[in-house]
Homo-oligomer: A and B are copies of this chain.
Amino acid sequence: MRIGELAARAGVSVRSLRYYEEQGLLTSTRSAGGQRHYTQDDVERVAFIQRLYTAGLSSRTITELLPCLDSPSDENSDAAMERMLKERDRLSTHIEDLLRTRDALDVLMIAAQAHRDARQAVA
**How big is the A interface, by class?**
35 or more
A73 CB to nearest B CB, Å: 5
Map CB proximity to B onto A42-71 as digits: 1 under 8 Å, 0 otherwise: 000000100110110000000001001100
Which of A6-14, A16-24, A26-34, A99-107 is the contact stretch? A99-107
State which of B88, B97, B105 has its C-beta within 8 Å of the C-beta of A87. B105
Asked whether A81 and B112 contact (CB < 8 A) given A88-B102, A91-B98, A102-B95, the answer is yes
Count copies of this chain in the complex.
Answer: 2
Q: For the complex, would chain A's binding face be called helix, strand, loop or mixed by DSSP majority?
A: helix
| Known interface pairs A84-B112, A95-B102; 9 further A-B residue pairs with C-beta atoms within 8 A, sorted by A's residue number | A51-B104, A54-B94, A68-B112, A72-B112, A72-B115, A77-B115, A80-B112, A88-B102, A95-B95
